[in-house]
Amino acid sequence: MSDNLPIRKIIHIDMDAFYASVEQRDNPELKGKPVAVGGSRSRGVVAAASYEARKFGVRSAMPSVTAFRRCPNIIFVKPRFEVYKEVSQVIRNIFFEYTDLVEPLSLDEAYLDVTNNKIGLPSATLIAEEIRKKIFDTTSLTCSAGISINKFLAKTASDINKPDGLKLIKPDEAVNFIETLKVKDFFGVGKVTAEKMKRMGIHTGLDLKNKSLGFLSKNFGKSGAYYYNICRGIDDREVNPNRIRKSVSIENTYDTDLSDFQEVLTELQILSEALEKRLSNNHIQGKTVNIKIKYADFEQVTRSRTSQIWLSKSQDYKPFWEEIMNDKGLTEKPIRLLGLGLSNLNTEEKDNQGFQLTLEF
């Protein structure tokens, strides 16, 4: 740990199997059963899986045919993103009762800096318990919380006692916790990287700590400095309520492959209008139009075009995706998924301030 870094009280809240839990809450017939949100027995991708389904190895982003193979009794449910957004906003409003320093990572998780909180409570643990109880009382949904001195430790802690759990990593426990933590459980270390580290004899945080910055940079590129710091408990990232948004997109996986060119254009127009609504709701404009195509054989391609002016209306960015699709080679194979989005956005990042040096957890 570095003595020069500010000590903060950071809470990471992660809803438990959020989409699937909302579906089980709203449909009592689904309670206690393996549920997959998204996809079907033969098509699509799982967006979320209930804990009953996870026992069979079903995970988000898994092809639904694989999920069905692993769990033949699984129940596929169509996602209701508008409902999830409404519930997420209710939860976010609860966060704001305690602090304005809330950084959402997605609809179902967020960081909170409660170092200086609105209710003047000195214990971040008590605040996390209050929030968890209030979320359950308000939504009938459970969440897990991690509490510590920085984002990395709080995020890692929230996974330890899932579901419906809480984990505190105190400042004087941080070093030992990190040194004994398996690298595969480090936030920011994916499966491929964990396997690479394993081949190098790096199994725990202590093993990682024994490697030099030069070694890690040579073998892991830009991520080397991140690994060098986090195994020492160094993470000075602030909770940023104005976290920059880099893209807005929408996509659809089709029950039947798209083989006709006009049919593809029709579906893109539908996506285009849905994207316009999302942009309007968030007061966002962009300059780069992005197309994502996944074929029936799961090959994936992306294409983009950039405008000199801001785009936010379907009629404004339609010429750009039409130009992309004029490449007939893009529709030579049956298409299972289409995605349309804007990047190079008009969002701006703002600075946050405020911390104290001594505190009680």
Collapse the DSSP code of 318 into the 3-class scheme (helix H, G, I; strand E, B; otherwise coil) and give the result. helix
Distance in angstroms (rounded) separating the CA atoms of residues 34 and 53: 4
Strands 247-258 and 335-345: antiparallel
At the topology level, CATH places domain 9-168 in Alpha-Beta Plaits (3.30.70)
CATH top-level class of 170-241: mainly alpha
Beta bridge partners of 300: 294
Known catalytic residues?
Answer: 109
Strands 335-345 and 300-311: unpaired
CA-closest candidate to residue 254, choices 342, 339, 341, 318: 339
* Longest Cα–Cα distance in the chain: 65
Could you list the pLDDT tens digit for every one of the 361 residues in the chain? 555 555 789 999 999 999 999 999 999 999 999 999 988 887 788 889 999 999 999 998 888 899 999 999 999 999 998 899 999 999 999 999 999 999 998 899 999 999 999 998 889 999 999 999 999 999 999 999 999 999 999 999 999 999 999 999 999 999 999 999 999 988 888 888 999 999 999 999 999 999 999 999 999 998 899 999 999 988 988 998 876 678 888 888 887 889 899 999 999 999 999 898 888 877 889 999 999 999 988 888 999 999 888 998 999 899 999 999 988 789 989 999 999 999 988 874 333 333 233 345 5
| 115's tokens | 């170092």
Residue 160: what are its φ and ψ, rounded to 5°? Answer: -70, -45
Distance in angstroms (rounded) separating the CA atoms of residues 120 and 32: 39
Domain ranges of the chain: 9-168, 170-241, 247-345
CATH top-level class of 247-345: alpha beta
Percent of residues in the chain assigned helix, strand, coil, to nearest 5: 40, 25, 40
Q: What is the dihedral of CA 301, 305, 306, 310, to 10 degrees?
A: -100
pTM for this predicted structure: 0.73
